[in-house]
Structure 1
Amino acid sequence: MKLMTVLILGDENDPHVQAVREAAVGFGSEVFLFNFRSRDSRVTFVADRKVSALFVNTAGELHSSAITSVWWRIKPILPNTPPPNPIATNFKNREWEFVLRSLPKYMEKTVQWVNPIERQVFLNYKPNQLAIALEAGLLIPRTLFSNDSGSILDEFQAEEKIVYKTISPFVDPPDGVIMTNFVPRETIAQTAANIAVCPGTFQKPIEKSYELRVYVVGGEIFAFRVDSQRSQAGRLDWRRAQDEDIFQLTRLDEEVARRIMRFHSLAGIVYGAYDLIVSVDGQTYFLECNPGGQWLWLEHALGVSIANRLGALLARR
């Protein structure tokens, strides 16, 4: 049997990386962890008569010809203070990004990616997700991506409050994060100039019975019920109540599961974390899919082993 060699692009201090690395090793794979932010990390892409890549760090070196699977687990680092030279920092990060995102063309076509880079990047754009969700037959809340306050007010005439989300993540270190919020109609009317600065996500509120957090790893589904309405902090966005006892394992409705797997196939991803709402009238609404979503807190609390499944997938077991 061919030795499986897994390249993990991520941070050795990330608990998810540690858990999946241990699982993949347990399935008999070699694992090479490459953290581009480490001062000891070196990479060389060769483009001559043929192309190849070489990764070097204190653990050794890995040639692209030996790699059988790649886990793209690169996460942004959120410093407590702005970098002393943000222009240089942005340039450095962009140079690494452009090289690493080119990696698929410098590797064997048989390499398994979790997830394929181009599909993960495509899915990070939330408007793309809702288009795929509709194609997959999933229900979605009525949504506008807009910076036109007039259009927003016209579209949601019956709503006193409208759900607002950023289209991309917004983080203001050390702890400023914009989560889901209700915005009164009068605020939208009074702040038209501010809204015009950039588009946002505006949605019709759905009266929730509970929510679902669903992970798809390869062809396997792990589903969790989130009783967010039992939490004062988490009623609008359960991430505000992530430490509360509002999560439990559940079984998905077969039709909902089928449509999620259809989304997964259309999106072209291997791993995804899905957020859905079950309304008081029993309808299930798709909110989003995070192709790099966290899961480890649920694994620790409820005894499931998503890391083990992901490790097996990377090890091709």
Structure 2
Amino acid sequence: MDDRSRSVLVLTNVSDVTADAVLRVLAGRRVPVVRLDPGTDLHGGASLTAAYRADGQRGTLRTSSRELDLTAVRSVWVRRPSPYQGPPDLDGQDRRFAAAQAFWGAGGILASLPGAHYVNHPWDNRAAEYKPAQLATAQHCGFRVPPTLITDDEREAREFAAGNAGGTVYKPVWHTPHEVDGQPRTVWVREVRGPELTEAVTACPHLFQAKVPKAFDTRVTAVGDRLFGARIDSPDLDWRYRQDRMRCSPIDVPVPVAEAVARYLAAFRLTFGAFDFAVTDGGTWQFLECNPNGQWAWQPPDITDRIAHAIADRLEGNHDT
């Protein structure tokens, strides 16, 4: 099959403007693209079939406008698809059952397309999302990591906080949807003090970290071996809290940090990663986290455009692995 006729499959929700930036680049290159939100589209007229026979694997994705041979998919970009929730006309146990079958069935098919290049593979994304695994891997790969404690023990939390003369911050180990009085709320990174560490800590694991005396933050967006650094100056401990008050500008990534990024991506088998660092007055880059599927279109247009083209290159097939 002529590789130019093979399609890029983009798995994301209909409101994903970050994906739109890359799709515009692919459209300009005349690369065939099929966009699918499996969590919703498979209940709205789309269908997915896979067959496993002695002569090999076959499959078909049908949407309202396309019929895609799954063996003709050159790459899959796993962006931000909606969760599998089951058909809206079902409820209770029936809907939960259908959602689970869709997750393991449709999700399994889309994660096992023969010959397709994944950015990133969904199973690698999931493995790389665990904060404890991130911290352990970051240390192994040569990053500087602030002293960190993950615990559900009140005494351990208090002792850890007491030992950090520069302060202690709390951050969730996972961004679980949270509501207050029926309104969605985000749990931001915030500083905590000893009296706040009560027996409520025992309810679940909490992540505490020594506060970094930072001069500024950085975001490094990695697409394969191409790194895009952005310096972030913000009045807030967590720059995401009020992005309208932050300033963002390009910054070079130090060679030791770039080398550690390469080792980290290899350890988790990632093509893409959004790395966050706190940089001290002395110029030390302290690793905070890596989101294997992080947002990047909020950065200045010149950085965003270069990232979009780098991802398009990977999806089109301009990569070594």
Q: TM range, normalised to the smaller chain?
A: 0.7 to 0.9
Instruction: State how far apart, in whole Å, the 2-side matches of 1:22 and 1:239 are.
Output: 27
SS at match of 2:314: helix
Shift of the 264–17 alpha-carbon distance from structure 1 to 2, 3 Å rule, reads same
Offset, 1:245:
4.4
Partner of 2:19: 17
* 1:208 maps onto 2:217 in alignment: no
Shift of the 315–172 alpha-carbon distance from structure 1 to 2, 3 Å rule, reads same
Instruction: State how far apart, in whole Å, the 2-side matches of 1:177 and 1:301 are.
Output: 29
Partner of 2:139: 134
The one-letter code of the counterpart of 1:311 is A
Shift of the 249–93 alpha-carbon distance from structure 1 to 2, 3 Å rule, reads farther
Offset, 1:97:
2.1
Give TM-score, length-normalised by structure 1: 0.88
Stretch moving more, 116-125 or 67-76: 67-76
Offset, 1:302:
5.7
Q: 1:118 aligns with which of 103, 120, 123?
A: 123
Instruction: State how far apart, in whole Å, the 1-side matches of 2:247 and 2:290 are.
Output: 20
Whether the aligned pair in 2 keeps the contact of 1:35 and 1:41 (CA below 8 Å) is: no
Whether the aligned pair in 1 keeps the contact of 2:10 and 2:79 (CA below 8 Å) is: yes
Whether the aligned pair in 1 keeps the contact of 2:248 and 2:300 (CA below 8 Å) is: no
Whether the aligned pair in 1 keeps the contact of 2:37 and 2:81 (CA below 8 Å) is: no
Partner of 1:152: 157
SS at match of 2:317: coil
* 1:35 maps onto 2:45 in alignment: no
Ranked by relative contact order (alpha carbons within 8 Å, sequence separation 6 or more), the top structure is: 1
SS at match of 1:224: strand
Whether the aligned pair in 1 keeps the contact of 2:12 and 2:82 (CA below 8 Å) is: no
Offset, 1:157:
2.5
Partner of 1:143: 148
SS at match of 2:203: coil
The one-letter code of the counterpart of 1:285 is Q
Offset, 1:53:
2.7
Offset, 1:89:
5.2
Partner of 2:294: 293
Instruction: State how far apart, in whole Å, the 2-side matches of 1:290 and 1:86 are.
Output: 33
Shift of the 154–277 alpha-carbon distance from structure 1 to 2, 3 Å rule, reads same
* 1:51 maps onto 2:53 in alignment: no
* 1:168 maps onto 2:177 in alignment: no
Offset, 1:45:
2.4
Shift of the 298–92 alpha-carbon distance from structure 1 to 2, 3 Å rule, reads farther
Q: Which runs of 5+ in 1 are unaligned?
A: 78-82
Instruction: State how far apart, in whole Å, the 2-side matches of 1:76 and 1:65 are.
Output: 24
Instruction: State how far apart, in whole Å, the 1-side matches of 2:279 and 2:57 are.
Output: 49
Instruction: State how far apart, in whole Å, the 1-side matches of 2:227 and 2:73 are.
Output: 27
Partner of 1:305: 306
Offset, 1:289:
0.6
Shift of the 90–166 alpha-carbon distance from structure 1 to 2, 3 Å rule, reads farther
Offset, 1:250:
0.8
Partner of 1:80: none
Shift of the 105–76 alpha-carbon distance from structure 1 to 2, 3 Å rule, reads closer
Offset, 1:216:
0.4
Shift of the 85–172 alpha-carbon distance from structure 1 to 2, 3 Å rule, reads farther
Give TM-score, length-normalised by structure 2: 0.87
The one-letter code of the counterpart of 2:188 is M
Partner of 2:86: none
Instruction: State how far apart, in whole Å, the 1-side matches of 2:237 and 2:52 are.
Output: 51
Shift of the 299–58 alpha-carbon distance from structure 1 to 2, 3 Å rule, reads farther
SS at match of 2:212: coil
Shift of the 185–90 alpha-carbon distance from structure 1 to 2, 3 Å rule, reads farther
Partner of 2:193: 184
The one-letter code of the counterpart of 1:282 is G
Shift of the 100–273 alpha-carbon distance from structure 1 to 2, 3 Å rule, reads farther
Identity between Structure 1 and Structure 2 (%): 25
The one-letter code of the counterpart of 2:164 is E
Whether the aligned pair in 1 keeps the contact of 2:9 and 2:35 (CA below 8 Å) is: yes
Whether the aligned pair in 2 keeps the contact of 1:53 and 1:63 (CA below 8 Å) is: yes
Offset, 1:46:
2.1
RMSD: 2.4
SS at match of 1:298: coil
